[in-house]
Amino acid sequence: MSGFQYYTQEGFDNLKNKLQHLKTKGRQEIAAAIAEARDKGDLSENAEYDAAKDAQGLMESEISKLEILMSNARILDESAIDTSKVSLMNKVTIKNVKNGAKMVYTLVQEEEANLKEGKISINSPFAKGLLGKKVGDMAQIQAPAGMVEVEVLDISM
């Protein structure tokens, strides 16, 4: 495994924009909060100053994390995606065998996951239960409510 993380163009752009925002506006806002708290006097008993410094540390940690993600990020060539079996970036239509409910999910990197958009993390138990399955295959998936059996109906982009 190369260590690269593959993203859609949209997901890659979102990471880049978030990093850019934190490095510019985010840093400016933290610097202003620290300066304002410093102007209020004694730093040894200044909770606002401590909170601003803590926020700065958290933000710098987030910037570092995003920089590492970006250095390993690659944009996925969607034309090269195999749809013969469930893999990253596939849109999978499944049917719950017990109740007949149909669901459609797209398997994406953790940072792109958004359940409202039907995008689930490739690292989730649900996605892991589907990986490698083909149309017509059954999968036993551990869900919060217990074991669920699903049938893979379709795999597409």
Q: List, for residues 32-50, the tens digit of each pLDDT value.
A: 998 988 888 777 778 888 8
Q: List, for residues 67-109, the tens digit of each pLDDT value.
A: 988 888 888 776 667 778 888 888 999 999 999 999 999 998 8
The rounded Cα 43 to chain-centroid distance in angstroms is 38
* Ordered domains of the chain (ranges, CATH): 5-75 (1.10.287.180), 78-156 (3.10.50.30)
| pLDDT given at position 143 | 79
In DSSP notation, 67-116 reads HHHHHHEEE--GGG---SS--TT-EEEEEETTT--EEEEEEE-GGG-BGG
| pLDDT given at position 80 | 67
